[in-house]
Structure 1
Amino acid sequence: MQPAKPPLLRFLLRWLDSNELAWMPPRWWHGTPTEREVWHLRKLARRRIRRELIARQGLARTLTQAAVWPVWALLKTVIHLRQRPLRKPGLGAWALRFLDIYWLQMAYNIGISDQFDGRMELPEFRRLIRLTAVCREHQSLLSSTHLIARGYPNIGGKQVFAKFCLEHGLPTVPVLCAGRGDQLLPGAVDWPPRDVFFKPANMAKGLGMEVFSYDATTGQWRTEAGIIVTPQSLPAYARRKLGQDVEWLLQPRISNSSAWPAYGSGALSTCRIMTGRLGPNETDIVILGAFIRCSLVNPIVDNMSAGGIGIGIDLTQERLTFGLEWVNYDPPLSHIPSTGAAITGTTVPALSEIVNLALRAHRAAGNWSSVGWDLALLEEGPVLIEANLQWAINPFLPFGMSRLPEVLRTCFGPHYERLPS
């Protein structure tokens, strides 16, 4: 057991701790116009992040963290390298890696976790560093577009999204019933004789999801613990599992088309299509990027944070590029490690149909500047799973190589030099 730290030391560690600088460092390079625009957008995001930090923890603490950041970043680099062994052993390799990690923190304000998420130790990713924005900046910029988009239709929640799809004739997974705690909302329909998905309405990353397996011999549904669940007993079960104030819903369990690349554990594999708006017309909706997700271990969800992998899509060739996983931070994958199944060059079936459905959905969604759509290809065709207004950064296409900066410039308009708070 490690000795307890003195109270004063614990206080200082908590008070000074930060993962990145709230200010962007001076731009010491000239770069291309696109690289300079990415840097400008990162500065706008940092300005908003800084205001939020000051509001939450005060100006004194924020300034102190900035003052000690060079030393703090150095300590974090040392601790990180002690905890994570290098692929190439030796003092020289350790020194080079130390300098590299520290340099990226100080010169580009890219924290250690973002460096590893972006695989920036690899040359093919490192050369794009000036076109890269980190996840926190990306999320801050999207949040700013939402302030401008006040009054647009809400499509973020699962129940709201199902209603949105129904109103606009968009194919999606139907909601069998929904509720809050032990209260069942109106509109419930009969359960089909098949497996069904029970899920919290507003939790991400597959948290709280559960499959109720259907037994055809008895006509009953059972939870993963073997408890029999009926339409009448579901509200009470939902309250016990999630609590009284958590919204939930029940949907049929769906499966991928037999034509879809089968890489994983049997969980539904989805395609994330990011779309953006460049103007007021329907023809101004553009694709910002695409990738698919599949689970290698989790039998329910395909989230990369739950052991799944992401696989990039070349939209011009309609083929897969390479895979990335977020457990061991291995180099890009051309094959599935456990099975040897090829990733790179594999054709994506019905991709044009999937993309067109995402574009159609964005046209129906009003003037949202960008949306991350989750879709799945079934035997009957593509369906929408959910809409993400605060969609995660695309790991396969750097920020500045997509049309997202152009979308943000269009959305911000007069706010482009200073974002609204």
Structure 2
Amino acid sequence: MARLAAMPFLRRKLVMLAWPPAMVLWGLGLTFANGAYVARRYGRGMIGQFADQMRLAFTQGIPVNFFYTYELHERRNWPRARDYVLRGHIKGGCQLYKRLYRDDPARRVSAKLLNDKLAFHQFCYAHSLPTARLFAIVSKGTFGWTDPSQITLPTVDLFLKPRKENGGSGAERWAYIEGRYHRHGHSTSLDAKGLTERLVELSRNQAYLVYECLANHPDVSDLSAGALCTLRLHTMLNEEGEPEHLFTMFRMSQFRERIVDTQDGIASAVDPLTGILGPASNSSPVARWMDHHPVTNARITGRTIPYWREALALALATHAELKALYLIGWDIAITARGPVILEANKAPDLEIEQRLDGPWGNGRFGELIAFHLTHRVRDASHRQNSASAESRATAL
């Protein structure tokens, strides 16, 4: 397989040894979680489902965790099984994302901007882009206020997150009620002094950013169990070097204790022309389709996202400012004041996207990845030949 061939020798041998038992054990667990439901709905018994997982894993290299996510329990879907872009393709052995930026220092420097939440926030502020208000940067116990006149935490709901973490790791949400800050999902309640002291302790290991806590637009507030909903909007440079919209999904939390929608949430595809939502789904291990929110029971399918056209235009225009980046996965909140950029990801995962939208390997994503990789090699060769020519000219 291409992913194995791309790996270093020792890592390849370890993967080859670990793969069989890992797939068997993982497959058994997934079959117990999903098998009875699939058997009732589709008529394929649990033993048959497990056998199919093993067949796909050992003949086509499809990890078992994608079997139910991409509904490969239906054999009519098997012909397109290898068209899915797996994590191993983009971030594992094949490292397609890294290969895009290889041998291009200028693009790599631009890509680093998205790894630093503070740097990206400053970029948005400098370009007058809508983003969450940043109150302070706390590093090694020291507060750096964005407003020099501010000397204490504001009396509003706050969202704290590490400067260089992803997926909501390390983040905290604090609601301001009657003079105290209450941590979401915990019984902790602190006054301004207590929360300041907590931030000082948190920042000793890594810098923290103190943001305003945004709220969902009233028209979609019932589509969340509590966390802020976000659009994950994918844009990619096309053959002309212009940003092109690939796909957007609307992410919703389904557990009240979660503070971000990426933690065990659900998502629904957004119609690019109308902003209307399709049926929602989770990912794994027990993937299901749903027309209503599992907690609020609000209707999802058929709902229209407020400010959809503005959100799409915002992502495309901002990508045009970041043309060194091939692909960006935007996190955009829809609030009462309009779309607000939260983050931008240069190497987004594609698992739930492909459950909602079908395989991307044989679609526009695959076409553009192939185009950019081909031209990257040509550009690198051209730069190398130009450098060699200049060296020969200098020598003469």
Whole-Å separation in 1 of the counterparts to 2:368 and 2:136: 37
Post-superposition offset of 1:263: 1.6
AA paired with 1:198? L
Whole-Å separation in 2 of the counterparts to 1:102 and 1:203: 35
Q: Say whether 1:391 aligns with 2:348.
A: yes
Q: Secondary structure in 2 aligned to 1:391?
A: coil
2:99 alignment partner in structure 1 = 144
1:86 alignment partner in structure 2 = 35
Distance verdict in 2 for CA 1:303–1:145, change over 3 Å: farther
Q: Say whether 1:180 aligns with 2:129.
A: no
Whole-Å separation in 2 of the counterparts to 1:133 and 1:335: 28
1:15 alignment partner in structure 2 = none
Q: Secondary structure in 2 aligned to 1:152?
A: helix
Whole-Å separation in 2 of the counterparts to 1:300 and 1:193: 23
Whole-Å separation in 1 of the counterparts to 2:85 and 2:16: 20
Q: Say whether 1:155 aligns with 2:114.
A: yes
Post-superposition offset of 1:300: 5.0
1:169 alignment partner in structure 2 = 128
Contact preservation (8 Å) 1:162, 1:174: no
Query: Considering only aligned residues, what root-mean-square deviation do their CA atoms show, in Å?
Result: 3.1
Post-superposition offset of 1:244: 1.5
Among candidates 368, 381, 384, match of residue 407 of structure 1 = 368
TM-score where L is the length of structure 1: 0.75
Contact preservation (8 Å) 2:23, 2:63: no
2:69 alignment partner in structure 1 = 117
Alignment size in residue pairs: 359
Whole-Å separation in 2 of the counterparts to 1:74 and 1:386: 34
Whole-Å separation in 2 of the counterparts to 1:227 and 1:93: 53
Post-superposition offset of 1:307: 3.0
Which moves more between the two structures, 363-372 or 175-184? Answer: 175-184
Whole-Å separation in 2 of the counterparts to 1:93 and 1:407: 40
2:387 alignment partner in structure 1 = none
1:206 alignment partner in structure 2 = 168
Post-superposition offset of 1:84: 3.9
Distance verdict in 2 for CA 1:350–1:77, change over 3 Å: closer
Contact preservation (8 Å) 1:264, 1:294: yes
Contact preservation (8 Å) 2:33, 2:286: no
Q: Secondary structure in 2 aligned to 1:260?
A: helix
Whole-Å separation in 2 of the counterparts to 1:346 and 1:227: 38
2:384 alignment partner in structure 1 = none
AA paired with 2:135? L
Q: Secondary structure in 2 aligned to 1:287?
A: strand
Post-superposition offset of 1:368: 0.4
1:134 alignment partner in structure 2 = 86
Contact preservation (8 Å) 1:172, 1:385: yes
Give a deviation string over 1:30-78, Cα, whole Å, max 9, x none: xxxxxxxxxxxxx3x5544x13xx4xxx26xx33653785x54774477
Whole-Å separation in 2 of the counterparts to 1:179 and 1:74: 44
Among candidates 192, 195, 198, match of residue 229 of structure 1 = 192
Post-superposition offset of 1:129: 1.7
AA paired with 1:255? A
1:374 alignment partner in structure 2 = 331
Whole-Å separation in 2 of the counterparts to 1:124 and 1:348: 33
AA paired with 1:379? A
Whole-Å separation in 1 of the counterparts to 2:373 and 2:191: 52
Whole-Å separation in 1 of the counterparts to 2:34 and 2:208: 43
Give a deviation string over 1:127-164, Cα, whole Å, max 9, x none: 53232121221232122223343232512321111101
Contact preservation (8 Å) 2:310, 2:339: yes
Whole-Å separation in 2 of the counterparts to 1:307 and 1:162: 26
1:104 alignment partner in structure 2 = 56
Q: Say whether 1:331 aligns with 2:288.
A: yes
1:341 alignment partner in structure 2 = 298
Q: Say whether 1:287 aligns with 2:248.
A: no
Whole-Å separation in 2 of the counterparts to 1:401 and 1:345: 28
Whole-Å separation in 2 of the counterparts to 1:257 and 1:387: 21
Give a deviation string over 1:374-415, Cα, whole Å, max 9, x none: 001111111100011121112322223542122212322355
1:262 alignment partner in structure 2 = 222
Q: Say whether 1:63 aligns with 2:13.
A: yes
Q: Secondary structure in 2 aligned to 1:387?
A: strand
Post-superposition offset of 1:195: 0.8
Among candidates 252, 256, 259, match of residue 298 of structure 1 = 256
Distance verdict in 2 for CA 1:119–1:246, change over 3 Å: farther
AA paired with 2:98? S
Give a deviation string over 1:314-350, Cα, whole Å, max 9, x none: 2134321121114652332222234443222222222
Whole-Å separation in 1 of the counterparts to 2:289 and 2:256: 21
Whole-Å separation in 2 of the counterparts to 1:204 and 1:390: 11
Distance verdict in 2 for CA 1:78–1:122, change over 3 Å: closer
Contact preservation (8 Å) 1:272, 1:375: yes
Distance verdict in 2 for CA 1:332–1:78, change over 3 Å: closer
Q: Secondary structure in 2 aligned to 1:399?
A: coil
Contact preservation (8 Å) 1:273, 1:289: yes
Whole-Å separation in 1 of the counterparts to 2:34 and 2:333: 38
Post-superposition offset of 1:255: 0.6
TM-score where L is the length of structure 2: 0.80
Contact preservation (8 Å) 1:183, 1:235: no
Whole-Å separation in 1 of the counterparts to 2:75 and 2:298: 25
Whole-Å separation in 2 of the counterparts to 1:334 and 1:207: 29
Post-superposition offset of 1:270: 0.5
AA paired with 2:349? A
Contact preservation (8 Å) 1:310, 1:325: yes
What is the correspondence of 1:1-20 to structure 2 with a 5 Å cutoff?
none
